[in-house]
Structure 1
Amino acid sequence: MTKPPRRPPQPLLGHTDAPLRSKPRRRRDPSQPQLTLDPMPARVDLCLALLKSRPPKGAQWAFEVKWDGYRLVVHKEPSGVRILTRGGHDWTHLFPAIAAEARRLPVSTAILDGEAVVLDEQGRPDFGKLQKSLGGRGGNRASRDAIMMAFDLIYFDGHDIRSTELSSRRHLLEELVPAGGEEAIRLSEEIEADGDTLLRIACELGLEGIVAKDRNSPYRSGRSGEWQKIKCVQSDGFAIIGYEKSTASFGGIGRLLLAARKGGEFVYVGEVGTGFNERSAAELRELMDKLIVRKPAADTGRKRNAVFVRPELVAEIQYGGWTHDGKLRHQSYKGLRDPADNEGVYELE
């Protein structure tokens, strides 16, 4: 039986004189799973820490230092980097070193949550130095000294990870920002210690306090209690609703009249007459005299030589506690919060 003649070998790419064509593209099998990407949120409502008097107990709680600065959220996108405040203001131009470091992070897209701080000679955050580096309250000067202490990761490489538990988010964050770094973005490290012991050490070192976080919790906006802050010295924001005149004090300010919120109203919580210097008093007086009104935002009782103002300025007040009738004890003026920082006025329960 005669075998059929063998076909001559075909060129590797077919006929050399024929145009090259790829095979028709196969349609995706609808049963085949595929990894979807989440749109990056333009802005995130932040998870806030609930103030507590003592650290919580239990193995699920992780502890960090409480950083005294401005809360920031860094958005790294293919188009560039944005740095937003808690109130949603774009402060990218104020933190060039942080923005430059964000561009170098080994990921294409990410949202980091953290705090901008300026450290003193002992490595402690100094809020006054931070404000000074920015040109004072409301300043518009780029800070070369500010760094960001990153403590959470909200979005990572195309995926919104807010529903993931904290321990997993931290694991990814530590891959981006390794512990012990000296760059403009540094990791706020978890500290393996009992909460009471860590609080005592933090207070001895002159830090503001500590933060406790539930390792199993998702990233939830607002004050849900899954993050808790415990302060060495109590310090909160109170609305300035007026001042008492004095010819013997800096700026002619005897005492500031302060208010907290209760529901949708302001409640008078006392006054503060210490903590000013000549510069801060002059700044306060200039700002308050532009906000003068006839009627106070809260009932202050009878006040001699009182000037009332619209409650638009928020003062950071350090205090030792509360009296039985709901007034501040051992209070001292610490500074004005920047409006863009969106630091809330203290809420009375």
Structure 2
Amino acid sequence: MRLITRGGYNWTDRYPWIVEAALKNRQKRFVIDGEAVILGVDGISDFDALPSGRHNDEVQFCAFDVLVEGGDDLRKLPLSMRKANFERLLARRPEGIFIKPFERGEIGPDLFRAACQMGLEGLVSKRRDRPYQAGRSKHWIEIKNRAHPAMDRVKEALR
């Protein structure tokens, strides 16, 4: 079991709850795409808690996509088929890993406003008929909530 970051760092020792949850999965060989998060009491990611490292034992994995299951590379399958595999893979998942909700439809102004009112960082929209592609793509759109506290750190980094 390894937790590898986008930058290639091995953070397996850093986030024990994620490792423990992954090891309890019935499928022993899988690769999932997602992000490490600390959830606040409201169930929303607490972006200020993660960088401090003081709460590493509370870090969970918010899973977005499955790339490999068993010995099968699923990246060439359309998103809709990967999501079906994903639900089966994590059907009996223990606490520590959760699936980011997946809704069919378009991101409209009402949905985006609701996400902002909930305190979410933003929304991501991907084409359900497309294979997995690492990094940015013309086939997926990310819309950020500019009022979210995470945007302050982005602005600071750009200065």
TM-score w.r.t. length of structure 2: 0.87
The aligned residue for residue 129 of structure 2 is: 216
CA deviation profile, 1:221-252 (whole Å, cap 9, x unmatched): 231222211012178x9xxxxxxxxxxxxxxx
Residue segments in structure 2 that go unaligned for 5+ positions in a row: none
Deviation at 1:191, TM superposition (A): 2.7
The aligned residue for residue 200 of structure 1 is: 113
Which secondary structure state, in structure 2, belongs to the residue aligned with residue 97 of structure 1?
Answer: helix
Whole-angstrom CA distance in 2 between matches of 1:146 and 1:109: 22
The structure whose residues are more often helix, as a share, is 2
Which secondary structure state, in structure 2, belongs to the residue aligned with residue 200 of structure 1?
Answer: helix
Higher relative contact order (CA 8 A, sep 6+): 2
The aligned residue for residue 183 of structure 1 is: 95
8 Å CA contact 2:63–2:98 kept in 1: the answer is: yes
Q: Please give the residue correspondences for 1:1-349 in structure 2 after superposition, counting only pairs within 5 Å.
A: 81-132=1-52, 134-135=53-54, 143-178=56-91, 183-192=95-104, 194-196=106-108, 197-233=110-146, 316-317=154-155, 333=156
Opposite residue 104 of structure 1, the aligned amino acid is: K
CA deviation profile, 1:254-277 (whole Å, cap 9, x unmatched): xxxxxxxxxxxxxxxxxxxxx7xx
Aligned-residue identity in percent? 34
Provide runs of 4+ in structure 1 moved above 3 Å. none
Residue segments in structure 1 that go unaligned for 5+ positions in a row: 1-80, 136-141, 238-274, 276-314, 318-332, 337-344
Deviation at 1:145, TM superposition (A): 0.9
Whole-angstrom CA distance in 1 between matches of 2:81 and 2:59: 28
8 Å CA contact 1:202–1:209 kept in 2: the answer is: yes
User: Which of the two has higher C-alpha Rg?
Assistant: 1
Whole-angstrom CA distance in 2 between matches of 1:198 and 1:106: 35
TM-score w.r.t. length of structure 1: 0.41
Deviation at 1:162, TM superposition (A): 0.8
Opposite residue 188 of structure 1, the aligned amino acid is: K
The structure whose residues are more often strand, as a share, is 1
Which secondary structure state, in structure 2, belongs to the residue aligned with residue 150 of structure 1?
Answer: strand
Whole-angstrom CA distance in 2 between matches of 1:193 and 1:159: 28
CA deviation profile, 1:164-197 (whole Å, cap 9, x unmatched): 1111111111112239x67100011113565122
